[in-house]
Homo-oligomer: A and B are copies of this chain.
Amino acid sequence: MMHPRTFRVDYDHVTSVVCVVDSGLNVNLNRSAPPGSEFFSVKSTATVQYSISPRPQETSHLSPIPLKGNSALLIRMSHASDYENDGKLSIRYYGEKKDVLGRALMHLTAVEISLDVDADRDGVVEKNNANKGSWKWGSNGHGAILLVNCDSEWMFLKKPDSEQDQVSKVSDLKDMSLMVLRTKGPAKLPEGYKLTMHISQGDAESVRVFRARSSGVESNSMQKLFNLFVKEYPLVLSNEVLSQEVPYLGGVSEMKFYVEGLRYPDKDFDGLISINLSLLEPISEGLPETPIFTDTAVFRVAPWIMTPNTLQPVEVFVCCTSDNYQFLKGMRNLVTKSGYKLKICHEYMNREDRWMQDELEFGYIDSPHHGFPVVLDSPRDRGLKDFPYDELLGPDFGYVTRVAQREDVSSLDSFGNLEVSPPVTVNGKNYPLGRILIGVAFPTATKGRNMTKVVQDFLWAQKVQEPVALFSDWLLVGHIDEFMSFVPAPDRKGFRLLLASPDAGYKLFRGLHRDGHGQAKLFEGLKDEEQQTVDEILNDRGLAAENNYVQSCIDWNRDVLKRELGLDDEDIIDLPILFKLVMDNKAETELRAVAYYPDMVNMIVLGKNLGIPKPFGPKVNGRCALEVEMCSLMEGLGLSCTFIDAFASYHKQLGEVHCGSNVRREPFYFKWWNLEM
């Protein structure tokens, strides 16, 4: 039961008051008794319940009760009134000789008020959930959920709906959370009482509330329909209006509101917002009304969630450029064979920027009532920079970005450097949505490149896929997808971590040498590419030293991944890949690594089909030894390898198949609000 409200009653007056059903009024009887009062008595109509404290001694309950310093009356009404002032209560005050010194009369009107949301997360707004005013994670948790309305209902002159200043289509309502104000009481409230909805200044940056004026609109002119529609969903609360009166409809009524999220959790926003509905009591002209009852609903803004390689693909995106026919052909075959859609971004849009992986990351947002994919646009902003907004943003396809200072953006801000693991359990802690992985410089480095702070802050603030920072600054391009990937597996944790491994590469080449294939050649059949024999590679002591360094960098990441994802060595597969060090022209003195031959770990994973950069390795009996090794490592997992020739148009430009593609995947079956945090 709610804390009762302190209420003052004057003698020789009629006091009218509205109270909310089941919320009490606490009247201090002594405070405003006539001087000389020694006794009192109380009478009420049946609809008004009261109790006296301290509890009077059990004599005839009709006789006056001694008035004490702490005598108080607790009044409550358990049912809504049919008419204004239909509850009555009177107090009589008596002197020493039980002579009547004064009488106070109260007229009471009871209303039921409940600001209702889907606090039990079943997609339906239930009535007056006891837990609606707080938010708790977990399958036994509670609290309503809000989406950032970051898609665009319109394709023409579009922008995210949260940046539009009105609700402009019925379809926009489903991106918002329904909130229902349920009231029950007389046809109208007594003079001066009113209902007000309000939010705090801080929350107003993150949320807006619209009201549904009525249920239907009928019209057939488009513009008229639009205008009518906007009028039908007036804006109630926003950054500019923190508090606004909402009508009391009378009788038993429900009024619908639509709550719209405006921003994602971030460093300065934990994602929680409160919406309040208060009943105001009038005082008099020029004085602010007093809130005498407040009901509060708490929402959490849904986080942006990434999708790992183990989730079912929906669409595959690649760029068409002037020189990548070979690659497109290979990709089309693979994607068609796998049964997914291939979407091609054409040259007018990509402006010869082929790195589809790097400009954007596909994710999604979800709630019990609705969910949709959301693209995170990188601050990288090269040729593809308009693609996420211009081509992806649309109805039920959201858009979010973080704006960084130009000088803070480096190659590590490309989203080949942003991945997510499959679900893992680490020392008993579950990550059913996996963990985000990013690449940065060593924390000990006095200089070095990093993912920009605004993006890192955003990723950490989403909370549900707690990020892990890896070391990728040792690579010239600096992306974690150059040394790692995840593939599905039928056993163990449901996946394997693939790591590029120079040691595995050298082991394979030494084996070839031992078996008499030292003269087999890499890069055979590639024009403009100098061929290398296995023995030439094995005899290059400089290359060996460089690869030892690369292996130590990857081993450092291996140790972090084992620790932070709870992996054993048996969960990891080493792929035979060599690197070489080159001068980083942008940093003059720094040596950084690039793949020596196509970097097979930089693959695209489509269910059980892997699209792997064709390595052009040494041939033994007509088959590429690297492809044979790769197939043998993968086939135990039931995975099928397709090698795609991306040599000229990708590998020579320091990227591979994964860098040149992107996959939108199905969301997790697991609901993020069921996380135990």
Interface on A for B, CB 8 Å cutoff?
3-8, 10, 28, 31-36, 70, 72, 196, 198, 200-202, 241-244, 267-268, 276, 278, 280-281, 283-284, 286-291, 294, 441-446, 448, 453, 473-474, 501, 503-504, 506-507, 510-511, 513-514, 545, 548-549, 551-553, 555-556, 558-559, 562-563, 569-570, 574, 589-591
Contact of A442 among B33, B291, B513 (CB under 8 A): B291
Q: Are B3 and A591 in contact (CB under 8 A)?
A: no
Contact of A286 among B3, B552, B589 (CB under 8 A): B589
Shortest CB–CB separation between residue A418 and chain B, in angstroms?
Answer: 19
A200 to B590, CA, bound (A): 22
Q: Are A444 and B278 in contact (CB under 8 A)?
A: yes
Q: Which chain B residues lie closer than 8 Å to A552 at the CB level? A: 8, 281, 283, 290
A328 to B6, CA, bound (A): 39
A6 and chain B: residue at smallest CB distance: B555
A281 and chain B: residue at smallest CB distance: B552
A244 to B443, CA, bound (A): 11
Identify the 5 closest CB pairs spanning chains A and B, nearest first: A6-B555, A35-B514, A31-B503, A35-B510, A291-B444
**A interface, by DSSP: helix, strand, loop or mixed?**
mixed
Q: Which chain B residues lie closer than 8 Å to A198 at the CB level? A: 443-444
Contact of A443 among B36, B241, B291, B503 (CB under 8 A): B291
A556 and chain B: residue at smallest CB distance: B290
A559 to B24, CA, bound (A): 12
A70 to B289, CA, bound (A): 76
Q: Are B443 and A243 in contact (CB under 8 A)?
A: yes
Chosen A-B contacts, 10 in total, with CB atoms closer than 8 Å, are A3-B559, A6-B555, A8-B551, A31-B507, A267-B268, A268-B268, A281-B552, A286-B589, A287-B549, A291-B556
Q: Are A35 and B507 in contact (CB under 8 A)?
A: yes
Shortest CB–CB separation between residue A671 and chain B, in angstroms?
Answer: 27
Q: Are B446 and A287 in contact (CB under 8 A)?
A: no
Q: Which chain B residues lie closer than 8 Å to A548 at the CB level? A: 8, 10
Q: Which chain B residues lie closer than 8 Å to A202 at the CB level? A: 453
A502 and chain B: residue at smallest CB distance: B8
A33 to B514, CA, bound (A): 13
Q: Oligomeric state, in number of copies?
A: 2
A503 to B10, CA, bound (A): 10
Q: A242-B446, A281-B552 are in contact. List 6 more A-B contacts (CB 8 A).
A: A8-B552, A32-B507, A198-B444, A201-B453, A290-B552, A290-B556
Q: Are A559 and B283 in contact (CB under 8 A)?
A: no
A379 to B662, CA, bound (A): 52
Q: Are A591 and B268 in contact (CB under 8 A)?
A: no
A278 and chain B: residue at smallest CB distance: B444
A284 to B555, CA, bound (A): 17
Shortest CB–CB separation between residue A672 and chain B, in angstroms?
Answer: 22
Shortest CB–CB separation between residue A411 and chain B, in angstroms?
Answer: 16
Q: Are B200 and A443 in contact (CB under 8 A)?
A: yes
Interface centre among A8, A283, A443, A549 (most CB of B within 10 A): A443
A200 to B200, CA, bound (A): 33
Q: Are B70 and A569 in contact (CB under 8 A)?
A: yes
Q: Are B504 and A444 in contact (CB under 8 A)?
A: no
A591 and chain B: residue at smallest CB distance: B286
Q: Which chain B residues lie closer than 8 Å to A556 at the CB level? A: 6, 290-291
Q: Are B443 and A283 in contact (CB under 8 A)?
A: no
A202 to B453, CA, bound (A): 9
Shortest CB–CB separation between residue A20 and chain B, in angstroms?
Answer: 14
Q: Are B591 and A503 in contact (CB under 8 A)?
A: no
Contact of A288 among B276, B281, B474, B551 (CB under 8 A): B474
Q: Which chain B residues lie closer than 8 Å to A510 at the CB level? A: 34-35
